[in-house]
Structure 1
């Protein structure tokens, strides 16, 4: 039986009700968001963001509304959105688009908006909903932190596919070494892995949610991997260097990432030292991800392992971040985030160090916070023996 990606109506309605309760607690009458991820989360409508506004309107009492340009009406209905669709002719239009929404929405006294709303869009909202007190609300942000069981099913499937991509990437390199063929370039390997992940979904899933990023990621090797978000280049993998597969995919619009650093050939003493420090930090980080602990506390416990190993000067980023409808979303596993971890969160555990002119070393697993601790949703092995590729 094919794996079904799209969430049922009952799940989306459950999500909407959770957000409504939060709005009521904030003494808001409604929420308006034009954030594409929030829109998808609330209504099930995935779209390509552009200049034409797409807006979800969630009243505490009443029907959810989805404002779309007329050219998206059929697209919204095809996706079986859980909202009443309100359309407008075109952008910018002779009538400002958001005013079409205001005409059919019950006038709110206090209207919450997404914190990411632009200043320009805010002015249009205030003019369209004249008299409403407009205030930022984090109700959707907080709701997105705690995943519904059906969302976790999507995350787990994305984790399975990510593990397959990691394995297929290593196999491609091993085959090239074994056959004496040229090793792939970073760009060639990245393109191949994107096709692997998308191909699995096409072959094994139904009702596939197609968004801008389906599967793939960053591939870099040697000195290029010392840039934490370096882009794949035409550099060809070389024996003696490391290479990093920073991969992930989105199933049903829910993301997962999994990353491993590999050593091509017999590892040097420095390569072993760098890798093992990161592996130890990641293990401590996994143990620190427990309900009741703050993001800041988990981050400190994880990265302190690297500092204690004498490699703290090679740190360039936090332990990790939230994952959900966005690949990178709050909360942030960083010293400045006091958010308390809760059961149902999905976060990345990805400490790394970066040695200029040499390489980067990063290991990442996506973790589900459970009542007992944290459960990895990606499971590619990470011991030194597992990541050394004979050359």
Structure 2
């Protein structure tokens, strides 16, 4: 084989192993049929949604939401219509959106945007479901153009999104792999700073490092990167700052003895994963060991409670009881977890008020945490795939304190 042939073979092999984030357009036929079956079972003639995540779920079209409406009409008659502004038509076509595309000139427009959708689907008496994320303004605009239709709020699409298809699970798995690499990048950066004898990084600097690691990994190893917000990133906070569950990274520079959190995640093909670990910088105190171990054990037992047939509230109670039994219940600030998919946070909710039954194919977070004012927060999270035998953590970075101690 010549050097040219060898180089060509190597290039072909590299191309063959690259990960494609874009799902095949025919995948959306199954998605649409799932929703259409539920639509007809509930006695609806059609469904309309303008939620960007629903639009992506139903058609594969990802867009930057703004004042110009984008909406999907899914008819029981088999038609799927995607309404876009004219300036988005080419984007929808380039993404091979699985729908008939109709567009309007501009917003607010001489002709109202939803008049284009009404012209495409036809007027008349029909029962239309609308997703509950629609604003009153958008819903009113649809009703104005289809005055003979009756509109009823529905969670049909939300419930359909609970159960992931195999192709979606593959995207979640790859997002988990990238999230683990982000965690490794953050730890490596901190260890390099310690070894060099230089200043320790700030929360903001670590955030930049892990975000860059996630984004660069995708663009170097993936084809057809689907850009959503956030594509990769997270919340990084240390010391007393970490006692605020959703605090934002600051210029605070890590100090010896700090407890600190890397709360990271990314989206591959628009499907999210989160992975969170709590670390100690230097030799842990007895207090830090107690707090960390209580959360680690709660996360382990809580993961075991995530299984088919279990109620979300049951898994939540089992998980949080570990922390309460450890005498740390006063430091609880939130539920065990939440659903995850096209949204970083979406139903079902692993919380005492949600009796949804967990099913095979759901992806949920398992993230118990405690927050001690003036000291620190401790949270460990994995995105969990519900399987026939229980559940599986998609993220794999070690969870125990021995593995999450950064020596000085």
Q: Which TM-score applies when normalising by structure 1? A: 0.99
Per the alignment, residue 14 of structure 2 pairs with: none
Per the alignment, residue 4 of structure 2 pairs with: none
Per the alignment, residue 18 of structure 1 pairs with: 34
Q: Does 1:90 align with 2:106?
A: yes
Per the alignment, residue 79 of structure 1 pairs with: 95
Give 1:11 deviation, angstroms: 1.1
Query: Matched residues in 2 for 1:62 and 1:203: separation?
Result: 39
Q: Does 1:326 align with 2:320?
A: no
Q: Does 1:337 align with 2:354?
A: yes
Per the alignment, residue 249 of structure 1 pairs with: 266
Query: Matched residues in 2 for 1:156 and 1:255: separation?
Result: 10
SS at match of 1:71: helix
Per the alignment, residue 216 of structure 2 pairs with: 199
Q: How does 1:173-322 map to 2 (within 5 A)?
A: 173-322=190-339
Q: For residues 116-161 of structure 1, what are the alpha-carbon distances to aligned partners after superposition, in whole Å with 9 as ceiling and x for unaligned?
A: 1111222111111111110011111011000000000000000000
Per the alignment, residue 378 of structure 1 pairs with: 395
SS at match of 2:90: helix
Give 1:211 deviation, angstroms: 1.6
Q: For residues 174-233 of structure 1, what are the alpha-carbon distances to aligned partners after superposition, in whole Å with 9 as ceiling and x for unaligned?
A: 111111111110001001111100000110000111122111111100011000000000
User: 5+ residue gaps in structure 2?
Assistant: 1-16
SS at match of 1:85: strand
Give 1:106 deviation, angstroms: 3.9
Query: Matched residues in 1 for 2:248 and 2:24: separation?
Result: 37
Q: Does 1:38 align with 2:54?
A: yes
Per the alignment, residue 102 of structure 1 pairs with: 118
Query: Retained in 2: the 8 A contact 1:48–1:212?
Result: no
Query: Retained in 2: the 8 A contact 1:12–1:43?
Result: yes
Question: Paired residue for 2:181, among 164, 185, 197?
Answer: 164
Question: Paired residue for 1:114, among 119, 122, 131?
Answer: 131
Query: Matched residues in 2 for 1:65 and 1:264: separation?
Result: 54
Query: Matched residues in 2 for 1:292 and 1:42: separation?
Result: 27
Give 1:53 deviation, angstroms: 0.3
SS at match of 1:220: strand
Give 1:169 deviation, angstroms: 0.6
Q: Which TM-score applies when normalising by structure 2? A: 0.95
Query: Matched residues in 2 for 1:181 and 1:319: separation?
Result: 38
Per the alignment, residue 65 of structure 2 pairs with: 49
Query: Matched residues in 1 for 2:100 and 2:309: separation?
Result: 39
User: 5+ residue gaps in structure 1?
Assistant: none
Query: Retained in 1: the 8 A contact 2:185–2:209?
Result: no
Query: Retained in 2: the 8 A contact 1:114–1:138?
Result: yes
SS at match of 1:331: strand
Question: Paired residue for 1:123, among 121, 140, 150?
Answer: 140
Ranges of 4+ aligned residues in structure 1 off by more than 6 Å: none
Query: Matched residues in 2 for 1:2 and 1:123: separation?
Result: 45
What is the root-mean-square deviation of aligned Cα atoms in Å? 0.8
Query: Matched residues in 2 for 1:203 and 1:292: separation?
Result: 40
Query: Matched residues in 2 for 1:61 and 1:238: separation?
Result: 63
Q: For residues 91-122 of structure 1, what are the alpha-carbon distances to aligned partners after superposition, in whole Å with 9 as ceiling and x for unaligned?
A: 01111111110111044610000111111222
Aligned residue pairs: how many? 391
Q: For residues 265-322 of structure 1, what are the alpha-carbon distances to aligned partners after superposition, in whole Å with 9 as ceiling and x for unaligned?
A: 0001110000000001001110000110110000000001001101001000000000
SS at match of 1:145: coil
Deviates more, 1:123-132 or 1:220-229: 123-132
Query: Matched residues in 1 for 2:54 and 2:376: separation?
Result: 37
Q: Does 1:151 align with 2:168?
A: yes
Deviates more, 1:105-114 or 1:220-229: 105-114
Give 1:164 deviation, angstroms: 0.6
SS at match of 1:300: helix
